[in-house]
Amino acid sequence: MGLKKPSATSIAVAVAALVIGAGIGRWYAWREFERELAVASLTHELELTGVCANTLKLTSAQRPDKVRLALDQRVDGAFRAIAELVDDGANLKGYAVPNLRDSLRRAADYYTTQGDSARARTASGLLARLDAPR
Protein backbone atom coordinates (compact mmCIF):
# COMPACT_ATOMS: atom_id res chain seq x y z
CA MET A 1 0.00 0.00 0.00
CA GLY A 2 2.69 2.42 -0.98
CA LEU A 3 2.28 5.55 -2.96
CA LYS A 4 1.73 5.11 -6.65
CA LYS A 5 4.50 6.46 -8.87
CA PRO A 6 3.25 9.35 -11.09
CA SER A 7 3.16 8.63 -14.78
CA ALA A 8 5.25 10.52 -17.31
CA THR A 9 2.05 11.96 -18.76
CA SER A 10 0.88 13.39 -15.43
CA ILE A 11 4.33 14.90 -14.83
CA ALA A 12 4.32 16.44 -18.34
CA VAL A 13 0.84 17.89 -17.78
CA ALA A 14 1.88 19.37 -14.42
CA VAL A 15 5.04 20.92 -15.89
CA ALA A 16 3.10 22.30 -18.88
CA ALA A 17 0.50 23.82 -16.55
CA LEU A 18 3.25 25.41 -14.46
CA VAL A 19 4.99 26.86 -17.52
CA ILE A 20 1.74 28.16 -19.03
CA GLY A 21 0.66 29.66 -15.70
CA ALA A 22 4.02 31.37 -15.24
CA GLY A 23 3.90 32.69 -18.80
CA ILE A 24 0.42 34.12 -18.34
CA GLY A 25 1.48 35.71 -15.05
CA ARG A 26 4.53 37.35 -16.67
CA TRP A 27 2.45 38.57 -19.61
CA TYR A 28 -0.13 40.11 -17.27
CA ALA A 29 2.57 41.79 -15.14
CA TRP A 30 4.24 43.21 -18.26
CA ARG A 31 0.91 44.49 -19.56
CA GLU A 32 0.24 46.24 -16.23
CA PHE A 33 3.74 47.76 -16.25
CA GLU A 34 3.21 49.12 -19.77
CA ARG A 35 -0.17 50.58 -18.75
CA GLU A 36 1.34 52.29 -15.70
CA LEU A 37 4.18 53.65 -17.82
CA ALA A 38 1.68 55.01 -20.35
CA VAL A 39 -0.33 56.70 -17.57
CA ALA A 40 2.86 58.26 -16.15
CA SER A 41 3.83 59.53 -19.61
CA LEU A 42 0.34 60.88 -20.19
CA THR A 43 0.24 62.74 -16.88
CA HIS A 44 3.68 64.22 -17.58
CA GLU A 45 2.61 65.45 -21.02
CA LEU A 46 -0.66 66.87 -19.67
CA GLU A 47 1.16 68.70 -16.89
CA LEU A 48 3.72 70.07 -19.35
CA THR A 49 0.89 71.21 -21.64
CA GLY A 50 -0.72 73.06 -18.74
CA VAL A 51 2.52 74.80 -17.77
CA CYS A 52 3.16 75.84 -21.37
CA ALA A 53 -0.42 77.02 -21.91
CA ASN A 54 -0.38 79.09 -18.72
CA THR A 55 3.00 80.56 -19.62
CA LEU A 56 1.82 81.46 -23.11
CA LYS A 57 -1.34 83.11 -21.71
CA LEU A 58 0.68 85.11 -19.19
CA THR A 59 3.21 86.08 -21.84
CA SER A 60 0.51 87.30 -24.22
CA ALA A 61 -1.04 89.25 -21.34
CA GLN A 62 2.40 90.80 -20.75
CA ARG A 63 2.69 89.49 -17.18
CA PRO A 64 6.36 88.50 -16.96
CA ASP A 65 6.22 88.62 -13.16
CA LYS A 66 3.53 85.91 -13.13
CA VAL A 67 5.37 83.90 -15.81
CA ARG A 68 8.50 83.87 -13.71
CA LEU A 69 6.59 82.93 -10.55
CA ALA A 70 4.77 80.08 -12.31
CA LEU A 71 7.96 78.72 -13.86
CA ASP A 72 9.97 79.08 -10.63
CA GLN A 73 7.29 77.11 -8.79
CA ARG A 74 7.33 74.41 -11.47
CA VAL A 75 11.13 74.17 -11.36
CA ASP A 76 11.02 73.89 -7.56
CA GLY A 77 8.54 71.01 -7.89
CA ALA A 78 10.74 69.37 -10.50
CA PHE A 79 13.80 69.71 -8.25
CA ARG A 80 11.92 67.95 -5.42
CA ALA A 81 10.73 65.18 -7.73
CA ILE A 82 14.20 64.69 -9.25
CA ALA A 83 15.75 64.48 -5.78
CA GLU A 84 13.22 61.81 -4.73
CA LEU A 85 13.77 59.81 -7.89
CA VAL A 86 17.55 59.95 -7.54
CA ASP A 87 17.21 58.96 -3.86
CA ASP A 88 15.19 55.95 -5.04
CA GLY A 89 18.00 54.95 -7.40
CA ALA A 90 16.80 56.39 -10.72
CA ASN A 91 19.53 57.53 -13.07
CA LEU A 92 20.22 58.05 -16.75
CA LYS A 93 23.27 55.80 -16.98
CA GLY A 94 23.31 54.00 -20.30
CA TYR A 95 20.83 56.39 -21.95
CA ALA A 96 21.84 58.88 -24.62
CA VAL A 97 19.84 61.85 -23.32
CA PRO A 98 22.31 64.76 -23.09
CA ASN A 99 19.56 67.37 -23.44
CA LEU A 100 17.74 66.03 -20.37
CA ARG A 101 20.91 65.99 -18.27
CA ASP A 102 21.79 69.46 -19.61
CA SER A 103 18.46 70.83 -18.35
CA LEU A 104 19.88 70.91 -14.82
CA ARG A 105 23.02 72.72 -16.00
CA ARG A 106 20.86 75.28 -17.86
CA ALA A 107 18.73 75.78 -14.74
CA ALA A 108 21.86 76.33 -12.64
CA ASP A 109 23.20 78.83 -15.21
CA TYR A 110 19.90 80.70 -15.33
CA TYR A 111 19.55 80.97 -11.58
CA THR A 112 23.18 82.04 -11.26
CA THR A 113 22.60 84.92 -13.69
CA GLN A 114 19.46 85.85 -11.74
CA GLY A 115 21.36 85.92 -8.45
CA ASP A 116 19.31 83.03 -7.02
CA SER A 117 22.19 81.07 -5.54
CA ALA A 118 19.97 78.65 -3.60
CA ARG A 119 18.23 77.37 -6.73
CA ALA A 120 21.52 77.40 -8.67
CA ARG A 121 23.11 75.21 -5.95
CA THR A 122 20.10 72.90 -5.96
CA ALA A 123 20.32 72.40 -9.73
CA SER A 124 24.10 71.87 -9.64
CA GLY A 125 23.79 69.47 -6.72
CA LEU A 126 21.12 67.43 -8.48
CA LEU A 127 23.26 67.24 -11.62
CA ALA A 128 26.20 66.00 -9.55
CA ARG A 129 24.00 63.40 -7.85
CA LEU A 130 22.57 62.30 -11.18
CA ASP A 131 26.07 61.84 -12.61
CA ALA A 132 27.50 60.18 -9.47
CA PRO A 133 28.56 56.56 -9.87
CA ARG A 134 26.26 54.08 -8.19
pLDDT digits (tens, 9 = 90+) for 5-51: 878 888 888 888 888 888 888 888 888 888 888 888 888 888 888 88
What pLDDT is attached to residue 78? Answer: 93
90 closest CA partner among 98, 80, 82, 101: 82
Amino acid at residue number 87: D
What pLDDT is attached to residue 30? Answer: 86
What pLDDT is attached to residue 2? Answer: 63
pTM for this prediction: 0.69
What pLDDT is attached to residue 94? Answer: 80
Q: Is residue 1 predicted with pLDDT exceeding 60?
A: no
Nearest-angstrom CA–CA distance, 99 and 122: 18
- The average pLDDT across 39-67 equals 87
What pLDDT is attached to residue 124? Answer: 96
Residue 119 near residue 125 (C-beta atoms within 8 A): no
